Structure 1
Amino acid sequence: MAALPKQYQWLANEAGPRMIKEALAELGTVEKAGAANNPVILNWAKETGEKNVAQMYVADSIPWCGLFMAVVAKRADKKLVKDPLWALNWGTFGVFTKTAMLGDVLVFVRRTADGSRAGHVGLYVGEDDTAYHVLGGNQGDCVCVARMAKNRLYAARRPDYNLQPDNVRVVKLAATGSLSHNEA
């Protein structure tokens, strides 16, 4: 695991949720530049156990936030959504929640270069007045924490817990760093 930025170092001491712990284990994983591929990211497609994912995901230049979420959910023994590479499909994961909390899956809407609608998915680690702080993949071509404008939120979904961890809570953070605008 790469070092967490100072504002997020407290995450290393959290007992859970398990999806957060699994995601933190991949912190700092970086997409290769140009035509090269990071074999770690490519192996996640096989690790999901989903044949269609392994067949579709053949290069780390393909948006991989959904792939990252799939491998994190799989490692945490959570059921994957249908076609997990499509970020907006994570809007059906787990159970709906009105108030996002630590470890929840957050799905965001974004616009592509041609103006069409696409999505982004990551895990809630906190929030400030205008943004959610999201631990996810393909954020600046790596696994990291990024700030996402609250008005881009499409869905907040809580993992379907047998027993919800005690530390699932709203986390208030300082509004440090710029907002992410395009996670492709």
Structure 2
Amino acid sequence: MTQATEPRWLAFARKYIGLHEVVGSGNNPEIVQMWEKLGLPFRDDATPWCAGFVGFVFESVGIKSTRSGLALSYQNWGVSLKAPAVGCVVTFKRVGGGHVGLVVGKDQQGNIMVLGGNQSDAVNIKPFATARVTSYRWPAGEPLPTGALPVVNSNGVVSNNEA
């Protein structure tokens, strides 16, 4: 799948790859603006912001998010998918909470490649084990995805070496 055929929210989210927290006592104003857009009370980049990023992305393209700062709030949002699809929301459990991001593909080992915020304190694409997945969700009212999940590299670009 090329970027031109990706869901509009995924194409929008890609624009933020490289955005990162401010080291030390400062805060990245773009992350603070994400909280503000969602009407949430956080005013820093130290609060876990993966759900803030996903919510900001959807709200920015005209899709209602959960408007929550909790990653696992997306487990019941939208429409459930049985398998991952490019652009779907994926939720994960972790010690102390969860994580949420957008699927861009899979890697050569079969891990889900996720574009998300607050991944090593930045917006980037990272692999996650499928064993950690708690849900795959799709925005209600949007055409359902079709096709196989592509193998992508760490930049989220389709690999020439399909697994």
Same fold (TM over 0.5): yes
> Relative to structure 1, is the Cα distance of residues 122 and 25 closer, same or farther in structure 2, using a 3 angstrom cutoff?
same
Q: Deviations over 1:66-93 (max 9, x none)?
A: 0000100101211221x52100111112
SS at match of 1:172: coil
Could you say which residue in structure 2 is the equivalent of 1:100? 84
Q: Quick one: which of 56, 68, 72 aligns to 1:84?
A: 68
Q: Percent identity?
A: 31
> Relative to structure 1, is the Cα distance of residues 175 and 39 closer, same or farther in structure 2, using a 3 angstrom cutoff?
closer
After TM superposition, list the pairs within 5 Å mapping 1:20-169 onto structure 2.
20-48=10-38, 50=39, 53=40, 55=41, 57-81=42-66, 84-111=68-95, 117-128=96-107, 129-164=109-144, 168-169=146-147
Q: Normalising to structure 1: TM-score of the pair?
A: 0.76
SS at match of 1:14: helix
Q: Runs of 4 or more off by more than 6 Å in structure 1?
A: none
Q: Deviations over 1:121-168 (max 9, x none)?
A: 000000144410000000111101000111000111011234346xx5
* Structure 2: tracts of 5 or more residues without a match: 156-163
* Structure 1: tracts of 5 or more residues without a match: 1-9, 112-116, 178-184
Conserved? CA contact 2:111–2:128, under 8 Å: yes
Conserved? CA contact 1:126–1:170, under 8 Å: no
Conserved? CA contact 2:104–2:152, under 8 Å: no
